[in-house]
With several copies, the nearest count.
Chain A
Amino acid sequence: MLHIVNKSPFERTSLASCLRVAAKGGALLLIEDGVYAVVKNSAVEKDLRGAMAGMPVYALQADVEARGLANRVMDGVKLVGYDGFVDLVAEHSNVQSWL
């Protein structure tokens, strides 16, 4: 399952809920304000590191760039374009948007 999170982890609990519930074998895609989770040295870095131990973590490049985070992305996060977003949806048998 592809898990999509579009909310800032500093403001909402969506990412935490996703990480609590998501079964192994899935992937996490951060879009919109969800990409704030990738910032280095933040209070949520540890949570995202934990997530990366269990599944691949992607972030939408256009959203990362819009927010001025291009030079602040944690190692291990894979940036994708909208075309990569489409591929991720196609590659996983189902998808959940953590709105």
Chain B
Amino acid sequence: MSEMDMEEGGTVKKFMFLNRKAPYGTVYALEGLEVVLISAAFDQDVSLAFLDDGVFQLTKGQNTKGVEMKNFSPTYRALEGYDIEKLYVERESMESRGLSEDDLLVDVQVKSAAELGALMNEQDVVISF
């Protein structure tokens, strides 16, 4: 609550959405993204972090034709249009999965585990998917 602030007559809180699950195998990544999009309408201080298998949500070249599911990866590119611009990826999660920043479909800030932990500490609300 220390980070809570009053701006333009409303409460502004720091919200972090922490994505830890791979897409398609379960619905959490997709339904998590739906929460992120809605949150944009509330003028909060929103950030997204990708940790563990959550970094797989951002891989380039997803093609869901064969599994007949909706490919929602282009939506991450649209987040900028919702003024959601703080995207963090934890370095160790990315590297241990054989990925580099070039493999990701959006620009992100790569953070160490300790840096991400410090960012989490600053939040008012953390919702993990």
The residues of A with any CB-CB pair to B shorter than 8 Å are: 1, 6-8, 10-11, 13, 17, 20-23, 25-26, 32-33, 36, 39-43, 45, 61-63, 65-72, 81, 93-99
Q: Is B114's beta carbon under 8 Å from chain A?
A: yes
A81 to B66, CA, bound (A): 9
Which residues of B have CB within 8 Å of A94? 120-121, 123-126
> Which residue of chain B has its CB nearest to the CB of A43?
B96
Shortest C-beta distance, B59 to chain A (Å), equals 4
Given A10-B97, A23-B117, A36-B97; A66-B66 close (CB under 8 Å): yes
A70 to B98, CA, bound (A): 14
By size class, the interface of chain B is: 35 or more
Which residues of A have CB within 8 Å of B2? 93
Set B53, B60, B113: member contacting A68, Cβ < 8 A: B60
Q: Do the beta carbons of B67 and A63 come within 8 Å of each other? A: yes
Q: Do the beta carbons of A66 and B69 come within 8 Å of each other? A: yes
Which residues of A have CB within 8 Å of B64? 65-66
Set B60, B90, B121: member contacting A23, Cβ < 8 A: B121
10 nearest A-B pairs in the assembled complex, by CB-CB distance: A62-B66, A33-B25, A68-B59, A42-B98, A23-B117, A41-B98, A43-B96, A68-B61, A68-B62, A21-B117
Given A11-B52, A13-B52, A23-B121; A96-B126 close (CB under 8 Å): yes
Shortest C-beta distance, A91 to chain B (Å), equals 13
Q: Do the beta carbons of A21 and B98 come within 8 Å of each other? A: no
Q: Is B63's beta carbon under 8 Å from chain A?
A: yes
A86 to B71, CA, bound (A): 25
Which residues of B have CB within 8 Å of A32? 24-25
Shortest C-beta distance, A49 to chain B (Å), equals 13
